[in-house]
Amino acid sequence: MDSPGRNVFILSSGFLAVIGSCSGKKRTEEGIQVKETQPIEAIAAGNNLESYEEAYQNFSFKDVEKEFSWYETGKVNAAYEAIDRHAESERGDHIALHYSDSDREEKYTFRQMKEQSNRFGNVLRKIGVGKGDRVFIFMPRTPELYFSFLGTLKVGAIVGPLFEAFMEGAVRDRLEDSEAVALVTTPQLLSRVPVKELPALKHVILVGAEGEQEEGFYSFEKEMDQVSPELDIEWVDREDSMIIHYTSGSTGKPKGVVHVHNAMIHHYQTGRWVLDLKEDDVYWCTADPGWVTGTSYGIFAPWLNGVTNVIRGGRFSPEDWYGTLEKYGVTVWYSAPTAFRMLMGAGADIVKQFDLSKVRHMLSVGEPLNPEVIRWGMETYGKRIHDNWWMTETGGILISNYPCMKMKPGSMGRPFPGIQAAIIDDEGNELPPLRMGNLAIRTPWPSMMRKIWKNESKYKEYFRIPGWYISGDSAYMDEDGYFWFQGRIDDVINTSGERVGPFEVESKLVEHQAVAEAGVIGKPDPVRGEIIKAFIALRKGYEASDELKEEIRRFVKEGLAGHAAPREIEFKDKLPKTRSGKIMRRVLKAWELDLPTGDLSTMDD
């Protein structure tokens, strides 16, 4: 089974798995080869989390609850804690929101955010929308989106944010499944909402609409003007539903992941210890609220911590992003690997044109963060980019690199205090370090999803092993307790009976100077079961050629492992990606096999 130059380990399912021999890897007794990246030292003291080990031993989420007013009553409202609590304190005049896009530039204090969200809550009350009703928001990132979001929560309704790039089919699926009763949108986006086919949808509130509206349609501005800025908040139970995020699984239509108000405990505390938010921070999370990062960490975590939140409308460009960091003096910046890779592709020269000296903490989530990107970030920004891991279903960060912690580039980090993460086999046995298996989390934790909307069986699948949440990701833990992502369970490639994590191959590929992005799939092969096929987008200035294919192949073969080198390479102008930046291998696979691509509603255009 084992042979020199390659290393073998067995998964619980009995499959033979091989992680290739490669430089910088150490062979272990278990057979797995562990990546040994050069650790990057911790940032000097002054972080909210001073000692990871101590916090991990002593921390309990129960202690956090005592910091909130509802600890005594048990009645809570996350929007109150995020906004009103600060509005009523000496931070009332502190900037809560800096908004800008190419046409608008506005700022709002916590007091003003309170008034605006109160008004929206009153608008909903007036039309009879309240506790437990689903209110969806299909809007570009503008201040009105945030007022509506918070106002919805304040009346105890469940908010459903929809990404503005969704087309009709995606919008219909979500509004239909959730039986949304109200929708906030714009006249432009309304053309993608099949209102007549949605019997539950009674109210459409239009932002920026002109003239009189027909029945059931309202002008956001007019309604907001007519109601009071005072509101009696609906105090709800901590376990009452707060938000629905639709997310794609490996099968079927997107499913509605439901989180409850209690999740705020998790958002608040990870905001303190992972984002390292402090009173005077100016924070920018680049994610859209249509995705979970854009709500848990684009709304709740910063505002629960009373911090100034930057929202930038419009699309990505390196100049625009660096300009935003400079203009607002952003101190904490949370983004995604694809964005960092694109910035890396744009080069270091452009960075020099901006003053990024205020940035003190950088973070990344959503997909594997290549060590190469971290190294580039160190060279270019002089900062570590802190990878962390979580999912729509987990509601908040569960594994992370903390400022106080030594970082191993390529690792997602260690479990958040209060969280027990493990690698388990399919029967629920915990595996020792350096064995690959299911990344699982001990249940429950404050931001754990509480249901899949109208789909109990889907929900139960995640918890099929008693006491554990099964993430669907495969990973291993090293001897120091750091977790290393290997791939989605269902994306792992099996070639000649050898399992290869596509991330490892992709990571290697993007280290090649010509490669901007890479997606790797298993392509069925009559002899080998599957062969590895790589789809590659080249960096500017590189021409596709057979020589270049061969060179890249050799680069992987020599840098990672022979069996991990793609037998086939295809160049593409762009790779299909989700809005949260994950390369959609599923779509690559469908292209390759000439199959239908399935639901593309989460794909970047």
Between 177 and 506, name the residue whose CB sits nearer to ligand WTA. Answer: 506
Which of 234, 240, 387, 504 is in the footprint of ligand WTA by CB under 6 A?
387
User: Considering the complex, what minimum distance in angstroms separates the CB of residue 205 from ligand WTA?
Assistant: 28
User: Considering the complex, what minimum distance in angstroms separates the CB of residue 257 from ligand WTA?
Assistant: 8
Rounded CA separation 369/336 (Å): 8
User: Considering the complex, what minimum distance in angstroms separates the CB of residue 469 from ligand WTA?
Assistant: 11
Q: Determine the interface stretch with ligand WTA among 315-323, 338-346, 362-370, 494-502 (rule: CB under 6 A).
A: 362-370
User: Considering the complex, what minimum distance in angstroms separates the CB of residue 485 from ligand WTA?
Assistant: 4
User: Considering the complex, what minimum distance in angstroms separates the CB of residue 296 from ligand WTA?
Assistant: 8
Q: Determine the interface stretch with ligand WTA among 311-319, 388-396, 416-424, 430-438 (rule: CB under 6 A).
A: 388-396
Q: How many CB atoms lie within 10 A of CB 420?
A: 15
Between 256 and 366, name the residue whose CB sits nearer to ligand WTA. Answer: 366
Asked if residue 367 binds ligand WTA (CB under 6 A), the reply is: yes
Instruction: Give 109's DSSP letter.
Output: E
Between 288 and 473, name the residue whose CB sits nearer to ligand WTA. Answer: 473
User: Considering the complex, what minimum distance in angstroms separates the CB of residue 151 from ligand WTA?
Assistant: 25
Site string for ligand WTA, 556-585 (x = CB under 6 A): ------------------------x-----
Nearest C-alpha neighbor of 590 from the set 601, 580, 600: 600
Asked if residue 473 binds ligand WTA (CB under 6 A), the reply is: yes
Asked if residue 441 binds ligand WTA (CB under 6 A), the reply is: no
Q: Determine the interface stretch with ligand WTA among 3-11, 415-423, 467-475, 512-520 (rule: CB under 6 A).
A: 467-475
Q: Determine the interface stretch with ligand WTA among 70-78, 365-373, 509-517, 530-538 (rule: CB under 6 A).
A: 365-373
The site for ligand WTA, by CB under 6 A, has a size of: 20
Written as six digits, the tokens of 420 are: 């027990």
Question: What stretches of 103-235 show up as alpha helix (H) in DSSP?
Answer: 110-126, 143-154, 168-178, 187-190, 220-226
Rounded CA separation 371/361 (Å): 17
Written as six digits, the tokens of 19 are: 């992680």
Q: Determine the interface stretch with ligand WTA among 34-42, 113-121, 131-139, 383-391 (rule: CB under 6 A).
A: 383-391
Which of 368, 446, 502, 576 is in the footprint of ligand WTA by CB under 6 A?
368
Q: Write the single-letter amino acid at 541.
A: G
Between 365 and 548, name the residue whose CB sits nearer to ligand WTA. Answer: 365
Written as six digits, the tokens of 140 are: 């570009």
User: Considering the complex, what minimum distance in angstroms separates the CB of residue 142 from ligand WTA?
Assistant: 23
Q: Write the single-letter amino acid at 554.
A: R
Residue nearest to ligand WTA (CB): 392
Residue 604 CA, distance from chain mean position:
14
Rounded CA separation 384/381 (Å): 8
Which of 412, 422, 505, 518 is in the footprint of ligand WTA by CB under 6 A?
412
Written as six digits, the tokens of 265 are: 């405990």
Asked if residue 365 binds ligand WTA (CB under 6 A), the reply is: yes
Site string for ligand WTA, 479-498 (x = CB under 6 A): ------x--x----------
Tokens 């120091």, located at residue = 480
Asked if residue 388 binds ligand WTA (CB under 6 A), the reply is: yes
Asked if residue 248 binds ligand WTA (CB under 6 A), the reply is: no
Site string for ligand WTA, 257-296 (x = CB under 6 A): -----------------------------------xx---
Q: Write the single-letter amino acid at 587.
A: V
Between the CA atoms of 22, 24, 25 and 27, what dihedral angle is there, to the nearest 10 degrees? 100
Rounded CA separation 229/243 (Å): 24
Asked if residue 335 binds ligand WTA (CB under 6 A), the reply is: no
Residue 187 CA, distance from chain mean position:
29
User: Considering the complex, what minimum distance in angstroms separates the CB of residue 370 from ligand WTA?
Assistant: 10
Between 147 and 340, name the residue whose CB sits nearer to ligand WTA. Answer: 340
Write out the DSSP string of 261-313. GGGHHHHHHHHHHTS---TT-EEEE---TTSHHHHIIIIIHHHHTT-EEEEE-
Contact between 454 and 493 under an 8 Å Cβ cutoff? The reply is: no
Written as six digits, the tokens of 358 are: 């205020």
Asked if residue 362 binds ligand WTA (CB under 6 A), the reply is: no
Which of 112, 148, 219, 247 is in the footprint of ligand WTA by CB under 6 A?
247
Instruction: Give 84's DSSP letter.
Output: I
Q: How many CB atoms lie within 10 A of CB 191?
A: 10
**Phi/psi of residue 464, nearest 5 degrees:** -65, -20
User: Considering the complex, what minimum distance in angstroms separates the CB of residue 254 from ligand WTA?
Assistant: 11
Contact between 267 and 231 under an 8 Å Cβ cutoff? The reply is: no
**Phi/psi of residue 461, nearest 5 degrees:** -55, -35
**Phi/psi of residue 79, nearest 5 degrees:** -70, -35
Q: Determine the interface stretch with ligand WTA among 45-53, 176-184, 198-206, 385-393 (rule: CB under 6 A).
A: 385-393
Q: Residue 320: helix, strand or coil by DSSP? A: helix
**Alpha carbon distances (Å) from 374 to 98, 229, 362, 363, 441:** 28, 46, 10, 10, 26
Asked if residue 372 binds ligand WTA (CB under 6 A), the reply is: no
Between 117 and 471, name the residue whose CB sits nearer to ligand WTA. Answer: 471
User: Considering the complex, what minimum distance in angstroms separates the CB of residue 582 from ligand WTA?
Assistant: 6
Contact between 232 and 245 under an 8 Å Cβ cutoff? The reply is: no
- Beta-bridged to residue 524, according to DSSP, are 530
Helix H or strand E encompassing 242: strand 241-247
Between 77 and 602, name the residue whose CB sits nearer to ligand WTA. Answer: 602
Between 292 and 556, name the residue whose CB sits nearer to ligand WTA. Answer: 292
Between 33 and 335, name the residue whose CB sits nearer to ligand WTA. Answer: 335
Residues that bind ligand WTA in the complex, under the rule CB under 6 A: 247, 292-293, 365-368, 387-392, 412, 471-473, 485, 488, 580
